[in-house]
Amino acid sequence: MDQRLNGDIANASSPGAIALEDRWCAHTYKPLPVVITRAQGAWVHDDAGRRYLDMMSAYSAVNVGHSHPRILKALTEQASKVAVVSRAFHTDKLGPFLARLCALTGLDGACPMNSGAEAVETAVKAARRWGYRHRGIPANQAEVIVASGNFHGRTTTIISFSSEEAYREGFGPYTPGFRVVPFGDLDALAAAIGPNTAAVLLEPIQGEAGIVLPPAGYLKGVREACDFAGILMILDEIQSGLGRTGRWFAHQHEGVKPDGLCLGKALGGGVLPVSAFVARRDVIDVFDPGSHGSTFGGNPLAAAVGLEALAVIEEEGLVQRSAELGAHLMDRLRALNSPLIRDIRGLGLWVGLEIDPARATARQVVEDWMRRGVLSKETHDTVVRLAPPLMIAPEDLDWAVDRLAETLSAFA
């Protein structure tokens, strides 16, 4: 076994730590049996000192890598001055951060929040008020069109338009005002647009659904349908944005521009929850004092870290790196030619492997891969996700694929 594994990791978990977490923490996740205590770059260590390659990046929150020195420097320097100030006052950090974010997106204004779900909630509120003020939709009748298979978060409003029963069961009554259409079906989307439609809200690539890409030209078709109907096109790029797919934003692969954009995860540099809803001027200006807000959203610590995260992605060439290494990763995965893999789909350093359920579950695959020194996570029982930090070394990426080949061979 490769020396990077630092010995046998078949029993890598700490039973005491896992039992304590299991006793006191709500069971909202099903973690792999490993206890992470420190991390650097693309590698993490457990409580026994064993090392693993991170192929998850905290669902794309760690695009720049763990404990990036520039991010930590921005964090500690700002924290030593002022970390949190109410938005009742101005700071010297928020303006530069949002100005840079708007310049990158080509949009006009932003509402800073914390989690990705909050960014989506902000987008829904903006779309509804915009529909009443700019489209003349009758009060409390605004509708937003979404796609089946979506994942935009787990708040009560967001699960109301989820098509995944596991996210909804037992949490009703559900929030009205949403129409669900098949992802990738332009005809269904066009048919769903009505006089009360304010916006279409989509992920350019569906992450939690299993890294599902729409047909070529789909986003262009959505843009055209929204323009024809005079409604908003809002994209959720919380996972797909900030370099993950080999462009700054996934929608750039089709040359479209949304009216609103939800961002998060990697915006916090892997150390803080930082998110934002960025939009054109007439959309962001529907908010006025008291209509929306967040105690921590836009705090100077988050703004300083967010600005540095954007600078690191740009100055270290992580977008281009994602494109180049992503193409190499797809070539390596296709060359595995394993009977366990039914499909390989992805873009940049974001790939889903569809596992044949007759041979193994995705959970079994990721658990075996973990024992060989690589950390990933399954989704929907059949898909293994690959989303390493964008700064991953090519030789480490190849090492992970070699370990995956061993795992697939073991099940075959």
User: Cβ(331)–Cβ(344) under 8 Å?
Assistant: no
Would the pTM count as exceeding 0.75? yes
Q: How far apart are CA 368 and CA 355, in angstroms?
A: 14
**Residue bearing tokens 């080949």:** 405
Q: Do 165 and 57 reside in the same domain of the chain?
A: no
- Determine the pLDDT at residue 412: 81
Domain stop point among 261, 289, 315: 315
Residues of the chain with pLDDT under 50: 1-12
Q: Which residues contact 155 (CB under 8 A, 6 or more apart)?
A: 117, 121
- Determine the pLDDT at residue 178: 98
Q: Do 252 and 366 reside in the same domain of the chain?
A: no
Q: Do 81 and 206 reside in the same domain of the chain?
A: yes
For residue 37, give the nearest of 10, 23, 22, 18 by alpha carbon: 18
Q: How many domains does the chain have?
A: 2
Q: Do 301 and 336 reside in the same domain of the chain?
A: no
Q: How far apart are CA 126 and CA 145, in angstroms?
A: 14
Which residue segment(s) compose the domain that 44 sits in? 3-64+320-411
Q: Do 77 and 97 reside in the same domain of the chain?
A: yes
Q: Do 163 and 108 reside in the same domain of the chain?
A: yes
- Determine the pLDDT at residue 7: 37
User: Cβ(401)–Cβ(408) under 8 Å?
Assistant: no
Domain stop point among 283, 315, 347: 315
Radius of gyration of the chain (CA): 21
- Determine the pLDDT at residue 14: 74
* pLDDT tens digits for range 18-45: 999 999 999 999 999 999 999 999 999 9
Instruction: Give the CATH number for residue 288.
Output: 3.40.640.10
Q: Do 311 and 325 reside in the same domain of the chain?
A: no
For residue 366, give the nearest of 378, 354, 356 by alpha carbon: 378
* pLDDT tens digits for range 69-117: 999 999 999 999 999 998 999 999 999 999 999 999 999 999 999 999 9
- Determine the pLDDT at residue 12: 42
- Residues annotated as part of the active site: 151, 236, 265
Q: Do 203 and 343 reside in the same domain of the chain?
A: no
Q: Do 285 and 202 reside in the same domain of the chain?
A: yes
Instruction: Give the CATH number for residue 43.
Output: 3.90.1150.10
- Determine the pLDDT at residue 8: 38
Q: Do 303 and 356 reside in the same domain of the chain?
A: no
Q: Do 51 and 78 reside in the same domain of the chain?
A: no
Domain stop point among 273, 291, 315: 315
Q: Do 145 and 278 reside in the same domain of the chain?
A: yes
